[in-house]
Amino acid sequence: MNVPEIKILKIDITICDAEALVNPANSLMSMGGGVAAAIKRAAGPVVEEEAMRNAPIPVGNAIATSAGHLKSKYIIHSPTMENLL
């Protein structure tokens, strides 16, 4: 049986060469602070634009976008908090 390999690294997420990164997002997919802002600065605004087209995303669900200028292929945006409109 083929078991996928999982590595845990302590590294700047914006320079990580991985299949996918996980962004602890908000439900509206705005990337204004914390990890999300660091990803947006390095990846470019296209990532936030892609994510926001799918908003709102309820906590417990996730979406994937391209990774923009990052080495990774995808960014998985998983809301950890609901935004109130």
pLDDT tens for 1-23 read 788 888 787 889 899 888 999 99
What is the average pLDDT value for the chain, to the nearest integer? 92
Q: What is the pLDDT of residue 81?
A: 85
- Unique residue bearing structure tokens 């083929």: 2
Q: Which residues of 45-77 are buried (b: 16+ CB within 10 A; e: fewer)?
A: eebbebbbeebebeeeeebbbbbbebebeebeb
pLDDT tens for 7-63 read 787 889 899 888 999 999 999 999 999 999 999 999 999 999 999 999 999 999 999
Q: What is the pLDDT of residue 38?
A: 95
Residue 41: which H helix or E strand, with range? Answer: helix 34-43
- The yes-or-no verdict on residue 85 having pLDDT over 80 is no
CATH architecture observed for domain 18-81: 3-Layer(aba) Sandwich (3.40)
Q: What residue segments make up the domains of the chain, in order of their start? A: 18-81
